Structure formats: structure tokens, C-alpha cells
Structure 1
């Protein structure tokens, strides 16, 4: 599996990042502990060295699981954690709690998870730089930040990696954020590369209100645009089958081979998902397949509503 540098931090990460949101349960429904363990170890066997978690993933359950499973060979892995923006004292308390759950003395990458518009976030950045000097973290990240918000906190420190939603159907960050990252040697990490499951071909209708209410808020599930997306997903499945791929594998391969994206964050709930989602990282993208996927993406792109992020989360 290819490796990439995380900003100027010296950290070397695999292109594939194991995302643990689903392992916490709650948002994605109940999660079997045994399935979680098998997924983590399938990723390790595949060569993944970068694991991404957060205290809000199951009220700390995902953090504890990662801490337990990576403890034995801690130095071999990159653990990324995060905290929503809050005042420095509260932010520091959250950091200390995460250290305990992870059963580690340091966290490799620590993100400010979501920004708050209008807030002076520089004191939190100063805190993270203090942790860096104390070797309690090794790199600083931001998640879901705009370019002005990144410029703001860069007055107080260095951003090594930026995390944002990106996939065949959602490419907003190509306009400003990704070019800014390239200009400033900031590593790009894409999440939701399967569009919360839409690109697997499993969601061919808008979820019912009682099923994953949060998922219904996705921009891609807008009643005005989802019928068009559904047509393209049928086409995606047909394209993928021609190249002996699933729709999910083709979508992951497209993102993995995209020169704008350095790391792809993959959520895997069990061994089967881990094996399927990591398989594209041992393949290359056929030029004909790339053309067909690019055409699909270009057709749908003008129809996607203009929003700050894929979740419509207001900061």
C-alpha cells in the first residue's frame, strides 16, 4: 500500500485510513463487538497504519476499542483523534479524556473537529502547538474548515492535514480548499468517499424518517436531486461490473487514484467490508474506467445544491 507524508510533521501514513465512526454504534445502528475487532485486524493485515476516531463515535466506545487493539504495537500506528471547537479549558479536558480512553501517552494527529463561525479559534491552535512541543501530539489537523477559517488559525500554528467530505458525487472542495492545501503543504484526507453508502448502490430510495434521521439531512438525499443520483448509481453499477468491480470498489478506486486526495478514510463495520473496501488499494485505475467515472461525476455535479458541507452542518 502506498505511503504519504502528513504535512511537515514527519508522519508517514498509508493512503487508506480506517475510520471508526460506525464502530461506536448509535448513528449507524447497533454494532457487534466481534465484528469491530475483525474489521480492525483485517485492516492491519492489509497494511493500514492510520486509524481515525473521535470521542463522539459512540460516546468514547470507538476510542477505547482502538486503544485496546493498537496498544501492543502502538509505535507502528498513527492514531488520529479530534474534538469539536470549544474554549481551551474544555478542549484540554476532552484531550485528556481521549488520552485515557486510547490508553496512550500521545496522539499522532489531533483535529479541531468542527469550527465555529465568528469565534477566535487561535487560542485552541496555540494549545495544540503547546501539545506538539511537549510531544503529546505529532501533527495538527482541521476537519470541515473553510479556507478563511484555516487562514485564521494558521496565525497561531501550522496545519498538517485537512479532512473533508469528498466523493464522485460531492466535489465542492476542489474549488478553494484543496488548492489552498496544495499551496500550503497541507495533506488532504477525504471522508464519506462512499457518500454515506449511496455509492455502494444500496440506497436507491430516500431513507424513511424513522431510519437514520441524520442521514436524511445529507445534501445528496434532497428530493430534487436524488432521482438523478439514483439514475447515475444504476449506471455506476453497470460500469463497475464491466471491470469486475462492485460500485463501492469503483468509487473508492476513483478517489484513491485522484491526485487531489492524499488519504481516503474508509468506514468498515466487519471483516467483509474491510476486505472489500481495502481491495482497491492494491489496484490501479484503468484509463477507460476513469473516463466513464469522470463523465458520471461531471454530469451530476451541476445538480448538487450549494452547501458548506455534505451534512448541511451549520458552524
Structure 2
């Protein structure tokens, strides 16, 4: 495995980081807890020491699963990355309304983007309890909250750092401008943002800002929710609880075009005895500014395949070939 520092925070992360969104089941059609724990353990055995989670993933279930998975592991050899600011359990509505959803039991919930100081302190204590630890390696605001000033949010997180409950501060889904505002109050280590071969809008502003200011970029959904694995077929059925059921990138015509692109790089993968997913992850990590790729797995077999992407080597010529083939892929229409 390879490891990189998150900004200048001193926190080292495995460049393949276990993303535990799917492990929480929410928006992914449920979960099997034993399989999820086994996936995290299998990844750890191959050097994937960093695990990204969030309270909203399964309404606390993902964090509980991560806590179970790291029991007995040396705490200083594991990096726990979690988040705050997506609230589903408020006594009364507060913050910026996010969306309506259902929990894993089918109950209706309203989710709010809410990052007021008192709420952050409460969320941190809840996360520490679910994770079974006394500190979080990287604490990230999940989405911007337009109802709370950024400096107020960051002052609260800075207090958690002073108390030893948080090692490093990160943001997620922040623009370059929002990062600059946050930096007036606290030193940021990273920004966690969506990035994949077919979703590259961060290259315009966020990537240049992070490179210039020495911030890590944690790329989430690098396999684009499975679209870039080559296993998704045009018109494939997804349950209503699966976010891919209505996702614009999963329209049949775009899936067809993506699969045609993947067919162009399939011989390269086969020549390296690698999967398409592994080649896609390696290309992603080779892009300027990308520090970490967050990759989910539902079971140990998938986790092992993700971790072994690090063993796949791509030459500059091969990277160029992939990029040129990608440039011919017509973007999806929303």
C-alpha cells in the first residue's frame, strides 16, 4: 500500500481508503453487517488503514460497523475519517433543508444540513460513542450549511482539536471559495469531493486551489457508483431505495457509451491481469491533486480487489492512452 499525508496535518492515510457509505445500507438497498465488518478487516490486512464514514450513512449504522471492525486493531495504525453536519434526528427543523429520505427500516426522514457549534459538539460525542474510540483522525463537515457562518462552524471544530477529540479538520463538498473562508479560522487538511473519469468538474477550481495551498483531495465515488466497473448494463434495474435508480449517469444511453469506452481499456487491464476497476482507480490516483481514492466494498472479496489496485502499474503512455480514450466519451446529459 502507499500512504500520503493529508495536507500538512501529520495524519497519514492509505491512498486506497475504505469508503463505508454502502456498508451503512442507506441508499444502497440495505446491508449485511457481518459482510461489511469482514470487508473492512480484509482491506486492513492489505494495508488499507484508513476508513471513511459518516453518521448519516445508515443513521449511525455505518459508524457502528466501523467501530465493530476496528475492535482489537491497534488504534494508532487505523485512521478514522468521519463527518458532521447532516442531521436527521433534530427535535425541531434547523439549518438548511437537504432532502427527504427513508431509513433502513423504511421510515420517512427529513435530513438537514446543520453545522451550528452546539450541534457539532453533540454529533462528535455521538460519533465517538458509535465508533468506540476517543478521537477522530479527520473530522469533516459533510455539506456546506448556508444557515451557519463558516467561521462559527470551524471555531467549534477547532475546540474539538484543542480537546484532543479530533486530530485534523477537513471539509467535504466545499468550493475553493468556501475552503478559503474556512481557512481563516482553522487549518484544513483536506476536501472530500466527488471525482471520477466521468465527473471531473473539480478540476476547474478545487484542484488548483488544493495544489496551491497543500490540501489533500479525497476523491469519493471514483468508480462512479459502480458505473466504471464494466458490470452495469444499459437498462439495469435498481430498487427504488438505491440512488442509482434515478441517477442521470445511469441512463441507458450513457451506460452504453461508458461501456464502449471501457472496452477500449479492457485489453490493457487483461494484459496486467487486473480488473477494469483497478485500472480506473490507478488512473484516478495519477491525476493532479488527487491524494486518496475512497472505494466502497460490500464484502471481503470486493475489498481485496480494491486494495490490490495499488499493485497495478500504469506507464505515462498508458495513462495518456486512457485519457485520450476518455476525451472521446460524450458527457452525460442531466
TM-score (norm: length of structure 2): 0.84
Q: Contact 2:16–2:306 (CA<8 Å) still a contact in 1?
A: no
Q: Displaced runs of 4+ in structure 1, greater than 6 A?
A: none
Q: Structure 2 unaligned runs (5+)? A: 86-112
Q: Contact 1:166–1:193 (CA<8 Å) still a contact in 2?
A: yes
Query: Where does residue 16 of structure 1 map in the other structure?
Result: 16
Q: Contact 2:47–2:307 (CA<8 Å) still a contact in 1?
A: no
CA drift at 1:160: 0.7
Query: Where does residue 136 of structure 1 map in the other structure?
Result: 165
Q: More displaced, 183-192 or 80-89? A: 80-89
CA drift at 1:241: 2.5
Q: 2:144 matched to 1:121?
A: no
Q: 1:104 to 1:287 in 2, by over 3 A?
A: same
Q: 2:272 matched to 1:243?
A: yes
CA drift at 1:213: 4.8
Write 1 or 2 for the structure with the bigger share of helix: 1
Three-state SS of the structure 2 residue aligned to 1:28 is coil
Q: Contact 1:201–1:237 (CA<8 Å) still a contact in 2?
A: no
Q: 2:197 matched to 1:196?
A: no
CA drift at 1:91: 2.2
Q: Contact 2:151–2:185 (CA<8 Å) still a contact in 1?
A: yes
CA drift at 1:135: 1.2
CA offsets, 1:44-83, max 9 Å, x none?
1101211111111111111112112223321211101101
Q: 1:223 to 1:283 in 2, by over 3 A?
A: closer
Please give the alpha-carbon distance, in whole angstroms, between the structure 2 residues aligned to 1:38 and 1:99.
Answer: 21
Three-state SS of the structure 2 residue aligned to 1:164 is strand
CA drift at 1:194: 0.5
Q: 2:123 matched to 1:94?
A: yes
CA drift at 1:277: 1.0
Q: Contact 1:81–1:110 (CA<8 Å) still a contact in 2?
A: yes
Query: Where does residue 43 of structure 1 map in the other structure?
Result: 43
Write 1 or 2 for the structure with the bigger share of strand: 2
* Aligned counterpart for 2:179 among listed residues 147, 150, 156: 150
Q: Contact 2:14–2:49 (CA<8 Å) still a contact in 1?
A: yes
* Aligned counterpart for 1:104 among listed residues 108, 133, 143: 133
- Number of aligned pairs? 305
CA offsets, 1:207-236, max 9 Å, x none?
547445522443423566444334223334
Query: Where does residue 170 of structure 1 map in the other structure?
Result: 199
Query: Where does residue 84 of structure 2 map in the other structure?
Result: 83
Q: 2:304 matched to 1:303?
A: no
CA drift at 1:239: 4.1
Please give the alpha-carbon distance, in whole angstroms, between the structure 1 residues aligned to 2:52 and 2:235.
Answer: 28
